[in-house]
A and B are shown apart, each in its own frame.
Chain A
Amino acid sequence: MPVRPLNVGVIVKLEPDFSEGNVSYNPDGTLNRAETKNILGPHSAAATLAAFYCKVKYDAKVAIGTMGPPIANQALRQAQLISNADELHLYSDRIFAGADTLATAEVLRLGVSRMNNGLGADIVISGHRASDGETGQTGPQTAWKLGYPFIGNVIDFHIDQEGKSIYAKRFISLYGFYDVIEEIQAPLPVFISADPSYKPSFNTISERLSLARNLNEARNKADNFEKYLQVFNSEGLGADPRYVGLPGSPTIVYKVEKIPKAKAKRRVEFVDGNDTVKLDMVAKKLIQLMTEAPIK
């Protein structure tokens, strides 16, 4: 029995390009968002790469969605170049503006259901977090809204299409140790977030051949990415205005403050190099510090 193709959805975020020469500032030192170039964020790129892995390995259908203003097109083109995606979705509407993570998750939930010709996705992939927001909440909240199990910090995975499950490896911290690898199995559909260190590997001849073919296809598709682009507004997604944009955002930003500089804990004391008594103290102090210092 032929297995139904795997449907993959990726949610990505357009982020300011913080690389040199691309950032633009207002006179008061804040970020000038209109002037700063936008790119696919590095964490979103990791998610996109995970989708490419599905494309190469399982010949999956891949759809990529983002919520944002119409200028997000370029980031989607970039995502298509990385992943050879079949569909590019832009969820764009004035009423989405001012959304917090929860209201964003609502839009993305609706977006995922429109993906892959309305079939949705067996795996939804997001990045770890965005480099401008840093909350890391949108992914898990979207998973919660979709009702899918969520696996975070995934570094490697494979899919059992017949058994309809995913086997994933992820980083966790355990008893104070970081980078412990946990292996986990979950049923499909599933939501995973790709660890920033995620890097797919292709270790067989057939995967490498498929890799070359997909890279080629991706280049051709990205050259005409508009052909694959679909723009959805609130109505197109069937969004309930109560749950999206500012009305759907329970977060209240009370006040934004500059983070004060922490006081330095170190104290400087000058010691005369000829004063043997003082030097003796210095030596004793160093020995004491070195013996007491925790071994890392």
Chain B
Amino acid sequence: MERYDVAIVGGGTSGLTALRQLANLGKQAVLLEAGNTPGTKNISGGILYSKKPKNGRVYNIEDVFGREFIDDAPYERSITQYILHATSKDKLYSIDLTPVHEYQINYAYSVLLSKLIPWLAKEASDMSEKMGGGIISGVHLRSVRWEQGNSDIVIDTDELEPFRVKAVIAADGVNSELAEVTKARNKFSSEQLYQGVKVVIKLPETILEERFKVTSEEGAAHLFAGDVTMNHIGGGFLYTNRDTLSLGAVYHMDSLMDNPIEPSRLIDTLIRNKLVAEFVKDRVPAKKSSQALISKDEEIRQHFMAVKLLKNWNNLRSEYYSRDGIKRLIESGKYGTKDEIESRIAFLENELVEKYNYEFGDNYVELEYSTKLIPDGKRCRMKAPYYKNILFVGDAAGRGVFVGPRIEGLNVGIDDAVRAANAVARSLDRNNFDEQYLGNFYTKSVEESPYTRDMKEIDKDYLKIFLDCSKNIPKDIVGSRYGMIFKLMSSGTLRGIAVGFANMLGFDRLLPLVESVDTYVNVPVELADRLGKTIDSNYVPTTPSLQERIAKLDYNDDSIPHIQVTKPRSEFMVKMASLCPTRCYSYENGNVILQHEGCIECGTCAYETLWRHPRGTKGVSYKYG
């Protein structure tokens, strides 16, 4: 049996950070990634933070990947605006939370993981290969075992011969199979999870910059609460990427269980909000229905011609609206002036309209539909994130900071990964993998992380900035519900006492008060109704059907279903018929039936099913992430 020092399971941002950090420390590690290549299975909301807390230190991605990360990595934009919108029908009340967003940060970049992760993977594997390790893609872990009298871990996969390692870093995400097979923690329940659904929307670069009033490097983030949530606890988000938008809806699973609505409908509702609609709007061609009788051959000929013209139109227009695109087009020699390009675009449009029965109008272009579960760190972080000599990081350990408008997952996982890598390296140096020496050391290190503190208690400085941002909210709206809290928090001296008292109560007892339908729905709706300005827009987006959304995804179907329904009649499973984002479940004759082919591996149904990831290279592959 082959032997390696360390195995890392999962090639997401945390796993790759751990691999690189171990290589930085001169240690050998192999990373197993189930996807065809790293970056095909990863989904995130889309902001990566680098932070500088006043008390304690966190490890940021550039601490591991070096200055090259900031200079070369393919992130999207530096987010410099952070705005919360309270919505009610076509009315909107906005609060600028940029100071809250900028609290203790070095930067915040919007990212698309399918672009970013391949870069991280290359950087990490180049370094790791020098230490005799590297990344092995298309491999799915099946189980781990310990042989008697030996602390080495034997790893069984679906694809490779078993091999032996001294320690494992589990970076296999929210639906961690390592946690499942070792029983290191329970499966996350609906009280501990958010379900996030996201679409990536195309929007040409310079149009985007004009619309969001940002420069070529900057970007904006918009959050939404109120009626767009359809009475759920959570909200919508919209982040600007280079030439796309990430638009998502994130809701607490228990509120979705109380009031199950299909994820694609939640996103549709968000898109139809007047402001969001204006944000995503673009010039889009559509084929008019035609009454003219033409032969099949002629129809096919016309179709091919039109497709060719559309492709040309699309490419030229994207280039025209991209940064320095006009300059590049002129330098290529094809066009003499900006006017020439414009008239060419107009010509192509005209051809499509006149000859091929197309019309151009306001609509938007969706590129990718995705879903992910997000562990609510406040409620489900592993108190001791290890099992024997396996260390859990990031989502796998149930860690993330989600407090009000503070949404941080990627950077928390990265911080964990560095701590885990450091702990493992220390154990390798002493050849000591005892729980005391490895697991406890890692737990202590994670407990020291400022992120862990933020999962346990209220940061009163953060709260003060938040309250300052929202000081124009009339007291009577919040008064009936949070009057006491507000009064206490608004005064400098009392705030300290109030926060202290609240922290004594603990998040557990405080959260149901703060995270409620009142906070996320009723107060925002009332705010928008009374103080909001009306958005003047006639544009109603045509949202694609779920079938159209699924059709755009890439699948490599695993003939063996990776999910088994064990309780076809349970209340939970019946709700899955609504909550599965790709409608894999149907309800027939009192039983819930699964068709796994369209599964996008979010894990929403995992709590009451036998749920595994598909075998290596199988399942869905994302192009944006």
Contact = CB atoms under 8 A, between A and B. Distances in A.
Interface of B: 2, 4, 30, 125, 129, 132-136, 139, 159-161, 163
Question: Which 3 A-B pairs give the minimum distances between C-beta atoms?
Answer: A208-B136, A209-B134, A204-B161
Given A209-B129, A212-B125, A213-B129, A204 B135 contact: no
A213 to B, nearest CB: 7
A206 B163 CA distance: 10
Contacts of A212: 125, 129, 134-136
Given A212-B125, A212-B135, A212-B136, A205 B159 contact: no
Nearest to B163: A205
Interface in A81-95: none
A206 B160 CA distance: 10
A203 B132 CA distance: 17
B164 to A, nearest CB: 10
A41 B121 CA distance: 33
A29 to B, nearest CB: 24
B602 to A, nearest CB: 28
A43 to B, nearest CB: 26
Contacts of A209: 30, 129, 132-134, 136
B129 A208 contact: no
Interface residues of A, number: 8
A217 to B, nearest CB: 11
A205 B132 CA distance: 11
A205 B30 contact: yes
26 contacts: A203-B159, A203-B161, A204-B2, A204-B160, A204-B163, A205-B2, A205-B4, A205-B30, A205-B136, A205-B163, A206-B2, A208-B136, A208-B139, A208-B160, A209-B30, A209-B129, A209-B132, A209-B133, A209-B134, A209-B136, A212-B125, A212-B129, A212-B134, A212-B135, A213-B129, A213-B134
A214 to B, nearest CB: 12
Q: Tell which of A204, A208, A212 has the most Cβ of chain B within 10 Å.
A: A208
Nearest to B128: A209
Contacts of B160: 203-205, 208
A206 B135 CA distance: 11
Interface of A: 203-206, 208-209, 212-213
A212 B139 CA distance: 13
A205 B2 CA distance: 7
Contacts of B159: 203
A209 B19 CA distance: 14
A258 B4 CA distance: 63
A203 B135 CA distance: 14
Contacts of B132: 209
A172 B362 CA distance: 64
A200 to B, nearest CB: 14
A175 to B, nearest CB: 32
A212 B129 CA distance: 10
A213 B132 CA distance: 11
Nearest to B133: A209
B154 to A, nearest CB: 12
Contacts of A206: 2
Contacts of B30: 205, 209
A204 B139 CA distance: 11
B44 to A, nearest CB: 25
Given A204-B160, A208-B139, 14 more contacts: A205-B2, A205-B30, A205-B136, A205-B160, A205-B163, A208-B136, A208-B160, A209-B129, A209-B136, A212-B125, A212-B129, A212-B134, A212-B136, A213-B134
A205 B138 CA distance: 12
A195 B159 CA distance: 23
Contacts of B4: 205
A205 B134 CA distance: 10
Nearest to B134: A209
B153 to A, nearest CB: 13
Contacts of A203: 159-161
Contacts of B139: 208
Nearest to A202: B160
A108 to B, nearest CB: 36
A205 B28 CA distance: 13
A212 B160 CA distance: 15
A204 B163 CA distance: 8
Contacts of A204: 2, 160-161, 163
A203 B30 CA distance: 14
B393 to A, nearest CB: 21
A205 B129 CA distance: 13
A254 to B, nearest CB: 45
A213 B135 CA distance: 10
Nearest to A209: B134
A272 B329 CA distance: 69
A129 B2 CA distance: 38
A203 B125 CA distance: 19
Nearest to B155: A205
Contacts of A205: 2, 4, 30, 136, 160, 163
A212 B132 CA distance: 12
Q: Tell which of B133, B136, B139 has the most Cβ of chain A within 10 Å.
A: B136
